[in-house]
Structure 1
């Protein structure tokens, strides 16, 4: 599995927002900032308080991280990714989230079709 680290600092988020490209569907917005020379990718998550209480937001973040780690072998390396979830995500199942996130990552052209990810 390729190395995948987390984006945590506000300054790192702001750089990706300003310099990266965004891709969206009804459930997710994904910002992608391409770098050269790194041997790893970084992931940042944003889940609004409108999604529910802290338990619900943490559940959504855990689900997104699990899905993203499944895709890690198929993702382009050396990129920073920020995933912002929209309101419909709070009522979606894990499988629906996986399909939606796969759709938006393919739209961003950072996800290869080399192997099929197993459904849960």
Structure 2
């Protein structure tokens, strides 16, 4: 379970990320990054569209993304992240998602 201070939930925070953040993408994910000097740790927001499946499937995808960040939080730079899952994600298992997220985060140079 991620603590509240590690999450991005508010619509205005998401909008700020899309406006001011820098985006990096591969076929499976779009990741928006933003340096926030007020916050010394990473914050995560997740967006999974209804096109990716029913509520069960979408929540499964979100849980897997959260698990990835939980596992890799020590290697990641303290930034604000918003992860948007794209269509191919719905057919992926956790290990494929992990590989894909690591790939996009390496492109973004936010792995220590």
TM-score normalised per structure 1: 0.87
Structure 2: runs of 5+ lacking an equivalent: none
Q: Which has the larger radius of gyration?
A: 1
Aligned to 2:93: 93
State whether structure 2 residue 31 is matched by structure 1 residue 9: no
Moved beyond 6 Å, runs of 4+: none
2:76 partner SS = coil
2:6 partner SS = strand
The size of the alignment, in residue pairs, is: 109
Q: How far does residue 54 in structure 1 lie from its aligned partner after superposition?
A: 0.2
Counting only pairs closer than 5 Å after superposition, residues 33-112 of structure 1 correspond to structure 2 as 33-77=34-78, 79-112=79-112
2:77 partner SS = coil
TM-score normalised per structure 2: 0.93
Computed over aligned residues only, the root mean square deviation of the Cα atoms, in angstroms, reads 1.2
More helix by percentage: 2
Q: How far does residue 37 in structure 1 lie from its aligned partner after superposition?
A: 3.6
Q: How far does residue 41 in structure 1 lie from its aligned partner after superposition?
A: 1.4
Post-superposition CA distance 1:45-87 (Å, at most 9, x none): 000000000000000000010011111000111x110000000
1:73 partner SS = coil
Distance 1:37 1:50 in 2: 35
1:76 partner SS = coil
